[in-house]
Amino acid sequence: MSNNIQGKVVVITGASSGLGEATARFLSAQGASVVLGARRVDRIKSLADELTRRGGKALAVATDVTDSDQVKALVDSAVQKCGRIDVMLNNAGLMPHSPLERLKIDDWNRTIDVNIKGVLYGIAAALPYMKQQKSGHIINVSSVAGHKVTPAGAVYAATKHAVRALSEGLRQEVKPYNIRTTVISPGAVATELPNSITERDVSENIHKFYEAFAIPADSFARAVAFAMSQPEEVDVNEILFRPTRQEL
């Protein structure tokens, strides 16, 4: 019986570590072709080589999601090399938490550019192909912070609320084209994400929280696989999950 994953062409932004990398591994093992985008090209190339050695089909394309042309080139490569795009996983993100009063304007701008504009550029790159195909699946990554705001997390939470709003608008608009949309909102998952924090005291606190509570990244990969593997007429729109021990 088909798992509805085998043979699908899946483009993943932020595939060089954490959730993106884990998902690339998981879906490749289930027979998907994965097209990996990130700035650390050495990492995605060696991941693509490893997945290929294991019998999978994988491609690495250097991509900065703050540049719409680069995101378009990533998706265009997927279609040129693999013939189509079935899933666009807009996963790249960062979380440089800090209290607003510290005025970390560069961090705010980077967070907005990657977490919001990067997702929009992914939608812009994938949507024309999916409309033409009359099929496809756009999966955006929000967060528990897309549901709850915490001190020092206002800008990050604002971007993740935005991802949910964009995803809901997208869901309604793409109905005529038979395109599925999912927004996944994880709690604390053990990845490199806390390393994007530039304020030392905040970084220490978040690292402690992650060390105490975070769960492995394959939890996220399984959520992606769950949404993908439903029959095509079933559109899983939202998944919110946390570590069992996480209160927030």
Ligand X SMILES: NC(=O)c1ccc[n+]([C@@H]2O[C@H](COP(=O)([O-])OP(=O)(O)OC[C@H]3O[C@@H](n4cnc5c(N)ncnc54)[C@H](OP(=O)(O)O)[C@@H]3O)[C@@H](O)[C@H]2O)c1
Q: Where are the alpha helices (DSSP H) in 60-192?
A: 68-82, 105-112, 118-133, 154-173
206-236 residues labelled b (16+ CB within 10 A) or e (exposed): beeebeebbbebebbbebbbebbbeeeeebb
The question of whether 121 is a catalytic residue gets the answer no
Residues within window 169-208 making contact with ligand X, judged by CB under 6 A: 186, 188-189, 191-193
Q: 192 or 204, CB closer to ligand X?
A: 192
Q: Could you say whether residue 18 binds ligand X (CB under 6 A)?
A: yes
Q: At which residue do the structure tokens 């977490």 appear?
A: 115
Measured from the CB of residue 88, what is the shortest distance to ligand X in angstroms?
A: 14
Among 111, 143, 181, 219, interactor with ligand X by CB under 6 A: 143
What Cα–Cα distance (Å) separates residue 141 from each residue in 56, 162, 221? 25, 11, 12
Q: 4 or 63, CB closer to ligand X?
A: 63
Residues within window 33-52 making contact with ligand X, judged by CB under 6 A: 38-40
Q: E strand or H helix at 66, and its extent?
A: none
By C-alpha distance, which of 182, 185, 31, 165 is closest to 93? Answer: 185
Measured from the CB of residue 39, what is the shortest distance to ligand X in angstroms?
A: 3
Q: 59 or 95, CB closer to ligand X?
A: 95
Stretch that binds ligand X, among 14-22, 25-33, 101-109, 127-135 (CB under 6 A): 14-22
Number of other CB atoms surrounding residue 180 within 10 Å? 23
* Residues making contact with ligand X (CB under 6 A): 13-20, 38-40, 63-66, 91-95, 114, 141, 143, 186, 188-189, 191-193
